[in-house]
Amino acid sequence: MQEAKRLRSLPPYLFARIEKKIEEKKAQGVDIISLGIGDPDRPTPEHIIDKLVEQAHNPENHRYPTSVGMLEYRRAVADWYKKRFNVDLDPAEEIVTLIGSKEGIGHISFCYVDPGDINLVPDPGYPVYGIGTLLAGGEPYYMPLKEENGFLPDLDAIPEEVADRAKIMFINYPNNPTGALADVDFFNKVVAFAKKHDIIVCHDAAYSEIAFDGYQPPSFLEAEGAKDVGIEFNSLSKPFNMTGWRIGWAAGNRKVIEALGRIKSNLDSGVFQAIQYAGIAGLTGPQDAVKEMQQVYKERRDAVINGLNSMGWQLEPPKATFYVWAPVPKGYTSSEFAELVLEKAGVIITPGIGYGENGEGYFRIALTVEKERIEEALQRMKDAIGKVEF
């Protein structure tokens, strides 16, 4: 039973050692507080659930949906883009429904990447960008995201021969795991770079609605000429606490959207229509729940920042995402520090190395735990390891 080369090419699961320690601690009866997984902990808003229940009783929704999604859902996405970003989209040809944005990000490389082709992948970054590239037979070229550059890729540092061979560039702002931001000026530079080298840009905007302190993240599609070169992925998971529902979209360049829809038509049967109706309810209905969650995450963010800074960190509060990205103290790798915090405090944090070579030296905390538990976790860390040095 020899596995395919594409599967053997995937990197080893870097969290296996920590997972083993978690199980050991639980077996010992330790109360583990997990700040590791970015999965919203609050329920989906009631009006969205009500719409699902209503439409689940409609027999018309019990049949196969279309692979590209209901036009009514795609219209709701287009209307949302117009209202939120003042971006015009043709719902029929510039939007495709996804089974969560992760599915589309994973499949897009199969549309354009042949064995030996290169994709430009951020490092640190969401692992699926590189994994999708590898599964399609491509080769990731990792763009370092450095703190001194605001965790933006240095486009000028990409060798010409690499850029000329590249098929896709993945970018993601607001950024997971760093919480970094990008403005339209940066997106304009990406568009110019992509046009010069004939690259498809895939912008992952999953955290566009998780922002604080008056900040409103822009869309990549706001950049001049963005639809000439690329698409944007987004999802209902983060703003509406719908991670388990699996519904999102890709929007932008119609040729790329058509290609993604074509591969989906051969690999999946689309999103259950009752869930698409629920998505419409989220996009077109009251946005109070989104604002409430922004306030919840802001309070949790402040609890993490205050707790870490009281131990010796000097962190500025991130203006978007529900993550805090922080350097590990002197004398530790990111995995060693994560293991120490788990061993001494019963708290799970994510080592930066899990997001790529350039994530080494950092760790990530997710704000998807109630504020009281976050405060308890930070107090445990303070009691266990005290003041830290850098």
pLDDT tens readout for residues 313-349: 999 999 999 999 999 999 999 999 999 999 999 999 9
Q: Are residues 268 and 146 in the same domain?
A: yes
Q: Are residues 266 and 299 in the same domain?
A: no
> Residue 38 pLDDT more than 80?
yes
Average pLDDT score over residue span 25-47:
92
| Number of domains forming the structure of the chain | 2
Local confidence band at 14 (pLDDT 50, 70, 90 cut-offs): low
- At 102 the three-state DSSP class reads helix
Quote the percentage of the chain above a pLDDT of 90.
92
Is residue 268 one of the residues assigned to a domain?
Answer: yes
Which pLDDT tens digit goes with each residue over 138-157?
Answer: 999 999 999 999 999 999 99
Is residue 149 one of the residues assigned to a domain?
Answer: yes
Q: Are residues 78 and 175 in the same domain?
A: yes
Q: Are residues 133 and 223 in the same domain?
A: yes
> Residue 13 pLDDT more than 80?
no
Quote the percentage of the chain above a pLDDT of 70.
98
> Residue 247 pLDDT more than 90?
yes
Q: Which of 233, 264, 284 is where one domain is finished? A: 284
Averaged confidence pLDDT in the chain:
96
Q: Are residues 251 and 330 in the same domain?
A: no
Contact 204, 169 (CB under 8 A): no
Q: Are residues 31 and 120 in the same domain?
A: no
Which pLDDT tens digit goes with each residue over 87-102?
Answer: 999 999 999 999 999 9
Is residue 388 one of the residues assigned to a domain?
Answer: no
Which pLDDT tens digit goes with each residue over 191-205?
Answer: 999 999 999 999 999
Q: Which of 242, 257, 284 is where one domain is finished? A: 284
> How high is the pLDDT of residue 21?
77
Backbone angles phi, psi at 261, to 5 degrees: -65, -35
Report residue 335 CA to chain centroid gap.
22
Residues 6 or more apart in contact with residue 222 via CB below 8 angstroms: 85, 86, 87, 184, 187
Is residue 390 one of the residues assigned to a domain?
Answer: no
Q: Are residues 213 and 68 in the same domain?
A: yes
Contact 203, 122 (CB under 8 A): no
Report residue 363 CA to chain centroid gap.
16
Domain CATH code at residue 86: 3.40.640.10
As given in the structure block, the two tokens for residue 289 are: 């729940």
Is residue 389 one of the residues assigned to a domain?
Answer: no
Q: Which of 284, 317, 345 is where one domain is finished? A: 284
Q: Are residues 331 and 271 in the same domain?
A: no
Strands 350-351 and 362-366: antiparallel
Domain CATH code at residue 354: 3.90.1150.10
Which residues constitute the domain of residue 126?
A: 63-284
Is residue 50 one of the residues assigned to a domain?
Answer: no
Contact 122, 145 (CB under 8 A): yes
Q: Are residues 244 and 172 in the same domain?
A: yes
> How high is the pLDDT of residue 5?
87
Least confident of 6-10, 17-21, 107-111, 301-305: 17-21
Strand runs labelled E in the chain: 33-34, 95-98, 118-123, 139-144, 166-172, 200-204, 230-235, 248-252, 323-327, 347-348, 350-351, 362-366
Is residue 162 one of the residues assigned to a domain?
Answer: yes
CA pseudo-torsion sign 204, 207, 208, 209: positive
Residues 6 or more apart in contact with residue 27 via CB below 8 angstroms: none
Instruction: Give the predicted TM-score (pTM) of the model.
Output: 0.96
Q: Are residues 254 and 348 in the same domain?
A: no
Q: Are residues 265 and 308 in the same domain?
A: no
Q: Are residues 164 and 300 in the same domain?
A: no
Contact 320, 212 (CB under 8 A): yes
Is residue 222 one of the residues assigned to a domain?
Answer: yes
